[in-house]
Structure 1
């Protein structure tokens, strides 16, 4: 009976400690990776330079139906919040041919930054992203507050953005 009581007590201490740590932690638990994203327009975005503003990064592929379906949502977010500081970056996966990405960006009239992760370095920096779409919402303090594989919860993204902007 004493061993069981000790185990239950230890479990409760760990549980309460973990909840307390989450409650006291700064918004977001994981920092945004410090990586430079090459872009379709042959420039670069150094993610470190974006600290102080919210960033939405989504890894996508031209052959991914869900990725193509989220483009209008991303365009709308960019239109609504770009002037107030939001940076939207769609990072094309390493296996996606750059000319195919450029054609998709043109056809879909993508108005946000399109990254080309030709080496896979950006996907690796974000935890070895392999599935698309995989999205990360980063708070102005540079910490990831929302990560999603598959369709994003657009209402949750909007709630965060409305608080920050």
Structure 2
């Protein structure tokens, strides 16, 4: 036989419901929070300084790579095609060679492959640290017009998905 319901029998259920709402709200905020790209200055292989502040208002791809990385070399033609496809719409691209990559190898690779985008050296590893301790190559960041990281790819990206993301980001205001 069941005991008669008391007037306060709903209180444990209300407390559980409130806890679920609070936890859900925190989870939603965590998932939707924009992560800003770090404020950095890239030094290109031709000595040009490129500040992330100068790139605000533009969609930017930052690709950490190395000449000794087989996947980096494999994806580079796709990166070139992606840049060429979207540069007319305002896409900026900086390929950052990792600190362990010899500058003469990077320069040779960029010249012989006629890389159409900016190539920078991360001689001290500071850029990789500021982008969240990038250690695996290739790692590519897509940064929105307001400096927010839209996506981080570790390994070769699926280029159709990348192109859809870039189209959407470039069309936004």
Q: State the TM-score, normalized to the length of structure 1.
A: 0.87
Larger radius of gyration: 2
1:32 to 18, 21, 37: 37
Q: Distance in 1 between matches of 2:104 and 2:166?
A: 32
Deviation at 1:20, TM superposition (A): 5.6
Deviation at 1:83, TM superposition (A): 2.0
- Pair 1:75 & 2:80 matched: yes
Q: Distance in 2 between matches of 1:64 and 1:71?
A: 11
Q: State the TM-score, normalized to the length of structure 2.
A: 0.83
- Pair 1:96 & 2:96 matched: no
4+ residue segments displaced more than 4 Å: 2-9, 20-23
What residue ranges of structure 2 are gaps of 5+ in the alignment?
1-10
Assess if the C-alpha contact under 8 Å between 1:74 and 1:88 holds in 2: no
- Pair 1:10 & 2:16 matched: no
Q: Does the C-alpha gap of structure 1 residues 21 and 93 become closer, same or farther in structure 2, counting only changes over 3 Å?
A: closer
Count of residues in correspondence between the two structures: 160
What residue ranges of structure 1 are gaps of 5+ in the alignment?
none
Deviations along 1:72-110, one digit per CA (max 9) or x if unpaired, are 111111111112210011100011010000111122221
